[in-house]
Amino acid sequence: MDEEELNKKLENIDLPEIELPDYIGNLRMALLESEYANNKRDASIFTKVPNWIKRYVYIAADSLTPKRLNWKLALVSTLAIALVISMSVFIPPLVNQTPGNESLVKVDDWRLGNKTLSSNGTTITGGGSTVTSGGTAVTSTVGSQPPPTVKLPQPTVVVPGISPDPIGLSVGGANDINNFRENIANDYLPLPTDMTYEGLFYDYYFDTGQTEECDELFCPSYSYAVTNDPFSGETEYYLSVGLNSGIKESEFQRKKLNLVIVLDVSSSMSGSFGEYYYDQFGEKVELSEEDQGMAKIEVAKQSIVAMLDHLDDEDRLGIVLFNRDAYLAKPINLVGETDMEAIGEHILDIEVKGNTNLYSGMVMATDLFEDLRDVDQSEYENRIIFITDAMPNTGETEQGSFLSKLEQSAENHLYSTFIGIGVDFNSELIEHITKTRGANYYSVHAPAQFKERMDDEFEYMVTPLVFDLQLTLEAEGWEIEKVYGSPEANEATGELMKVNTLFPSKMEGGETKGGLILLKLKKITEDSNLKLKASYEDRNGNQKSIESTVVFNNEEPEFFANSGIRKGVLLARYADLIKNWLIDEYEHAHFSYPWEPRVNNEDGIIVPSAMLGEWERQSLPLYVSPPYKELFRQFSEYFQNEVEAIGDETLTQGLEILEILLTTNNQD
Amino acid sequence: MYYWRKIILDQERILVERAKNDKEAFAELYDKYCSQILGYVIKRTANIEVAQDVTSQVFFKAYKNIGQFQWRGVPFSSWLYKIASNEITNHFRERKRRRQYLENNYDSEVTPNPSPESELAQAQEDLQKYEEFLSVHENISKLSFKYQEVITLRYFEHKQLKDIGVILGKNEGTVKSLLYRGLKKLRILME
Q: What is the pLDDT of residues B75-122, one digit of tens each?
A: 888 989 989 998 888 787 655 444 444 444 444 444 444 677 888 889
Distance from CA of B103 to the nearest CA of A (A): 16
Which of A38-52, A284-298, B110-124, B125-139 holds the top average pLDDT? B125-139
All residues of chain B having their beta carbon less than 8 Å from the beta carbon of residue A446 are none
pLDDT of residue B154: 93
Say which range, A390-404, A435-449, A507-521, has the weakest mean pLDDT: A390-404
Look at residues A64, A167, A197 and name the one whose alpha carbon lies nearest to residue A490: A197
pLDDT of residue A226: 96
Nearest CA in chain B to A158: B69
A345 Cα distance to chain centroid? 26
Sequence letter at residue A365: A
pLDDT bracket for residue A610 (50, 70, 90): low
Mean pLDDT throughout A513-538? 90
Which member of B114, B127, B174 has the closest CB to residue A23? B114
In angstroms, rounded to a whole number, what is the distance separating the alpha carbons of residues B18 and B110? 24
Q: What percent of chain A has pLDDT over 90?
A: 29
* Contact status, residue B151 vs residue B183, Cβ threshold 8 Å: yes
pLDDT of residue A236: 95
Q: What percent of chain B has pLDDT over 70?
A: 83
Helix (H) or strand (E) holding A248: none
pLDDT digits (tens, 9 = 90+) for A312-321: 888 999 999 9
> Are the Cβ atoms of B65 and A650 closer than 8 angstroms?
no
* Contact status, residue A297 vs residue A273, Cβ threshold 8 Å: no
Check pLDDT > 80 for residue A481.
yes
Helix (H) or strand (E) holding A640: helix A626-646
All residues of chain B having their beta carbon less than 8 Å from the beta carbon of residue A43 are 20-21
In angstroms, rounded to a whole number, what is the distance separating the alpha carbons of residues A406 and A579? 27
User: Helix and strand tally (H, E) in chain B?
Assistant: 10, 0
Question: Residue A258: how many CB atoms within 10 A of its CB?
Answer: 21
All residues of chain B having their beta carbon less than 8 Å from the beta carbon of residue A650 are 181
Distance from CA of B5 to the nearest CA of A (A): 20
Nearest CA in chain A to B190: A1
For helices A35-42 and B23-45, give the axis angle rounded to 10 degrees: 150
Question: Residue A67: how many CB atoms within 10 A of its CB?
Answer: 5
pLDDT of residue A140: 31
Say which range, A4-13, A375-384, A423-432, A506-515, has the weakest mean pLDDT: A423-432
All residues of chain A having their beta carbon less than 8 Å from the beta carbon of residue B62 are none
All residues of chain A having their beta carbon less than 8 Å from the beta carbon of residue B61 are 159-162
Which member of B79, B174, B185 has the closest CB to residue A649? B185
Which are the contacts of B164, defined by CB distance < 8 A and separation ≥ 6? B149, B150, B153, B154, B170, B175
Which of A48-57, A377-386, B28-37, B62-71 holds the top average pLDDT? B28-37
Nearest CA in chain B to A36: B64
Per the DSSP assignment, residues forming a β-bridge with A220 are A243
Which member of A11, A19, A40 has the closest CB to residue B23? A40
Q: What is the 3-state secondary structure (H, E, C) of A382-402?
A: EEEEEEECCCCCCCCCCHHHH
Sequence letter at residue A10: L
Distance from CA of A462 to the nearest CA of B (A): 20
Sequence letter at residue B182: G
Helix (H) or strand (E) holding A69: none
User: Helix and strand tally (H, E) in chain A?
Assistant: 17, 23
Chains A–B, number of C-beta pairs less than 8 Å apart: 169
Q: A4 in helix, strand or coil?
A: helix
State how far the alpha carbon of A343 is from the alpha carbons of A32, A192, A319, A333, A383, in Å. 51, 38, 10, 12, 19
Per the DSSP assignment, residues forming a β-bridge with A538 are A466
Nearest CA in chain A to B75: A157
**Spatial strand order in the sheet of A516-523:** A478-484, A516-523, A235-244, A219-228, A559-560
Q: Please tell me what DSSP assigns to residue A555.
A: P
In angstroms, rounded to a whole number, what is the distance separating the alpha carbons of residues A329 and A88? 42
Say which range, A7-11, A311-315, A634-638, B116-120, has the weakest mean pLDDT: B116-120
pLDDT bracket for residue A275 (50, 70, 90): very low
> Are the Cβ atoms of A452 and B174 closer than 8 angstroms?
yes
pLDDT of residue B69: 79
Nearest CA in chain B to A23: B115
> Which residue would you say has higher pLDDT here, A587 or A400?
A587
Q: Quickly list H helices, A160-223.
A: 178-185, 197-201
Look at residues A341, A345, A346, A332 and name the one whose alpha carbon lies nearest to residue A260: A332
All residues of chain A having their beta carbon less than 8 Å from the beta carbon of residue B171 are 452, 455-456
> Are the Cβ atoms of B79 and A18 closer than 8 angstroms?
no
pLDDT of residue A143: 34
pLDDT bracket for residue A84 (50, 70, 90): low
Q: Please tell me what DSSP assigns to residue A258.
A: E
pLDDT of residue A546: 93
